[in-house]
Structure 1
Amino acid sequence: MSASSLPSFFSMYQQLIALPSISATDPKWDQSNKKVIDLLAQWLETLGFACEINELESQRGKYNLLARRGSGNGGLLLSGHTDTVPYDANRWNYDPFKLTEQDGRWYGLGSIDMKGFFAFVLQVLSELNSAVQTRPIMILATADEETTMNGAREVSRFANLKPDYCVIGEPTEMRPVYAHKGHMSEVIRITGRSGHSSDPGLGINAIELMHEVISALLKLKEDFKHKYSNSSFTVPQPTMNFGHIHGGDNANRICGCCELHLDIRPLPGLSVDELYVQLHKATESIQKRYPGSVELISLHHPIPGFQQATDSALVQLAEKIAQNEAQAVNYCTEAPFLQELGCETLVMGPGSIKQAHQPDEYLSIESIKPTQEKLKSLLKSYCFEE
């Protein structure tokens, strides 16, 4: 089989969008990504890639794919995730699983975040002469980036995966991203003792104790501004957001339990362990007064920040190809886990992050040709004879 056996670019895009592969913490939404993985493997084998598929040890029914072409060490790894976020059908004007062309746009769930990236890579590879490939090319497709990032956490299970360079195709409008913040989602649960509201001494009010915790966290949040700073980011300090709080069940009952859900975005280089120490300090006085009353629960494993040196060969090449200076962003990707492979790493892909996780997600048609040319330049620079 040859590159001519591949479907058209539009058809590949269409077929990827048509396969639901939602990842979610809610089991009612969560789905396997196996059909997407199998389809990508089929197309990549057509282009002469050897494919290996691993079911995740941490999550059965979810899969990673690694495709390799070329011998020797090093080479270029192009990586993306195969899952999408859930969607609200009432807010979509188009079928999320049918690629719809309208007003110069391709609409569909995953059109830019980020199934479409694989169609771009396949199309560009089909236009390059594999006979003059000089270094290994690897394509990685991961599971569950939108929730646990367990796929990226397990890439080391692929034997001898040691690329020189890695590009993650998240939507950046093909502008290179050399740094991003991490992500922690934590629950602080206060367990007091319920009782009749007419006599406060009968119980321990969890809401009142949570008030103390929030006061300590607000001070910690303010300390972030003075203790940590990175001017590369539009928001230069780590952020903390109180996203959800619930406690009690009735006005005339002493609240027995209160939960706060918070989000922390650490800067690159800021130890996640240090942040956990700070969170425990915020509840320390309550723990001493009421042993066992405070729990700190992670909604998912923490994702550290990411940074690649701006003077690295990959960043400098990407800036030249993109004709744009590399940037730091506040959202996070799989980059810190792939960087652990020992490769220079950056994030650069088609589409705008402003469209990610939005109803009527779309790719601008006018961006297709420039994106393909930039990806082709990247591949030619590292893996093909001129």
Structure 2
Amino acid sequence: MSTIVKLPNFQQALSELIASPSISAESASLDQSNLAVIEILATWFKDLGFAVNIQKVPGTNNKYNLLAKVGSGEGGLLLSGHSDTVPFDQQGWNSDPFAIQEKDDKFFGLGTCDMKGFFAFILQACKQLPLTKLTKPLYILATADEETTMAGARFFIEQQLAKPDVAIIGEPTNLKPVIMHKGHMSHRITVVGKSGHSSQPAKGINAIEIMFEIIKSLMTLKQELKHQYQNAAFSVTEPTLNFGAIKGGDSANRICGDCYLDIDLRALPGIKDEELLFWLSEALKATAEKYPGRVNMQELHASSPAFAENESSELVHVAEKLSGHCCQAVNYATEAPFIQQLGCQTIVLGPGSIEQAHQIDEFLAFDQIKPTEKILLDFIQHYCLL
């Protein structure tokens, strides 16, 4: 029996991937290794004749990247996705998140849409191709920890293990090519006050009151960003500054001795991280000088830059032709700006809707299956079989 016959069909492949938990989470109690998923992919692509390279990602909780390659020569196509998922709320799901449920012309399960399903599609496309006749290499990349630190993509770029002509990141876009998205950075601003009895405010320094001054300055920065930077390609046309979490004090009758505020910034393409950090420091400057040594800011996570592909690039024209959709911009972040550092033309395009990502009862609709298989076959034939 040939190895091709042993390989699973789409539903079987999707079921196997979903049944292997690979949650990425900031909480150590929820965070999981992705090794089981990587080993499944390695078996499939080895059976298809790919050379497979598995690398442990430094500084992670037993996380791994996989790079599979078939074909020789320069350039070619890289199909990339992440192997991890977000955590889930068991109480909200109407089925087992780790078992595929087929209902209402949909496959339900954690990762069906975002984005283990993409690898099941790649497998089906590769099964239909004469892989021994490729004129340029085809690469398959599965990364770790995209949902938290993007450590897998960062490490892969350091290694520079592939030099494709073009790359497609298969995040859910309803098969519409994405050529721009915002960046993301998050910081914690900490204020250290001096606690004391609330009846004698002059003997303490209230951290909440200091944070109030900081928030006023940040609100001014937020409005300045909105007025000075606009990009009509995005549904949210300006950079955003979000106050995500705040905590301070412990009792109504005590002067608040400490307070922190967690913020995130999502920059438009063309705005550098260095500029954002400068603007943040300027917003904090007056208050920090007024209260020496009491105001600090630290990064919560390594930042992810904004992404933009040249609208006139050959890949953009091919993607619009093959997908039947015009290119678009989105507000969320992906691994695209890291993969782009390989020196290749890069887009984001994949099955499913971002509206299903990170949601209870995540699903992949059946009507995405045939179009996704076709577009992947078309891309591979265009870039690896000409």
Task: For 1:266-285, list aligned pairs within 5 A.
Answer: 266-285=267-286
CA distance, structure 1, for counterparts of residue 191 and residue 297 of structure 2: 9
Residue 41 of structure 1 pairs with residue 75 of structure 2: no
Task: For 1:28-67, list aligned pairs within 5 A.
Answer: 28-67=29-68
Please list the CA deviations of residues 316-366 of structure 1 after superposition, one character each: whole Å capped at 9, or x if unmatched.
101001100000000010001110110000000010000000010001112
Please name the residue that 2:371 is paired with.
Answer: 370
Q: Shift of the alpha carbon at 1:286?
A: 2.2
CA distance, structure 2, for counterparts of residue 186 and residue 30 of structure 1: 21
CA distance, structure 2, for counterparts of residue 215 and residue 84 of structure 1: 36
After TM superposition, the structure 1 stretch with the greater mean CA deviation from structure 2, 81-90 or 55-64, is: 55-64
Please name the residue that 1:265 is paired with.
Answer: 266
Task: Classify 1:372/1:77 alpha carbon distance in 2 versus 1 (closer, same or farther; 3 Å).
Answer: same
CA contact (8 A) 1:117 1:350 kept: yes
CA distance, structure 2, for counterparts of residue 344 and residue 361 of structure 1: 30
Please name the residue that 2:3 is paired with.
Answer: 2
Letter in 1 for 2:247: H
Aligned length: 385
Letter in 1 for 2:83: T
Q: Shift of the alpha carbon at 1:60?
A: 4.4
Please name the residue that 2:183 is paired with.
Answer: 182
CA distance, structure 2, for counterparts of residue 15 and residue 157 of structure 1: 31
Q: TM-score, normalised on structure 1?
A: 0.98
CA distance, structure 2, for counterparts of residue 361 and residue 60 of structure 1: 25
After TM superposition, the structure 1 stretch with the greater mean CA deviation from structure 2, 22-31 or 55-64, is: 55-64
CA distance, structure 2, for counterparts of residue 156 and residue 363 of structure 1: 30
Q: Shift of the alpha carbon at 1:159?
A: 4.9
CA contact (8 A) 1:107 1:363 kept: yes
CA distance, structure 1, for counterparts of residue 323 and residue 260 of structure 2: 46
CA distance, structure 1, for counterparts of residue 41 and residue 270 of structure 2: 35
Q: Shift of the alpha carbon at 1:236?
A: 1.3
Residue 352 of structure 1 pairs with residue 340 of structure 2: no
After TM superposition, the structure 1 stretch with the greater mean CA deviation from structure 2, 335-344 or 222-231, is: 222-231
Q: TM-score, normalised on structure 2?
A: 0.98
CA distance, structure 2, for counterparts of residue 323 and residue 125 of structure 1: 22
Task: For 1:296-307, list aligned pairs within 5 A.
Answer: 296-307=297-308
Q: Shift of the alpha carbon at 1:185?
A: 1.5
CA contact (8 A) 2:157 2:338 kept: no
CA contact (8 A) 1:88 1:359 kept: yes
Note the residue ranges of structure 2 that are not aligned, 5 or more in a row.
none
CA RMSD of superposed structures (Å): 1.0
Please name the residue that 2:137 is paired with.
Answer: 136
Percent same amino acid among aligned pairs? 52
> Secondary structure, in 3 states, of the residue corresponding to 2:305?
coil
CA contact (8 A) 2:71 2:132 kept: no
Please name the residue that 1:22 is paired with.
Answer: 23
Letter in 2 for 1:344: Q
CA contact (8 A) 1:3 1:46 kept: yes
CA distance, structure 2, for counterparts of residue 203 and residue 286 of structure 1: 17
Runs (4 or more) in structure 1 with deviation over 3 Å come to 157-160
Q: Shift of the alpha carbon at 1:160?
A: 4.0
Please name the residue that 2:256 is paired with.
Answer: 255
CA contact (8 A) 1:143 1:152 kept: yes
Task: For 1:150-165, list aligned pairs within 5 A.
Answer: 150-165=151-166
CA distance, structure 1, for counterparts of residue 157 and residue 3 of structure 2: 30
CA distance, structure 2, for counterparts of residue 384 and residue 5 of structure 1: 25
CA contact (8 A) 1:4 1:126 kept: no
Task: Classify 1:142/1:101 alpha carbon distance in 2 versus 1 (closer, same or farther; 3 Å).
Answer: same
Task: For 1:171-320, list aligned pairs within 5 A.
Answer: 171-320=172-321
CA distance, structure 2, for counterparts of residue 86 and residue 4 of structure 1: 34
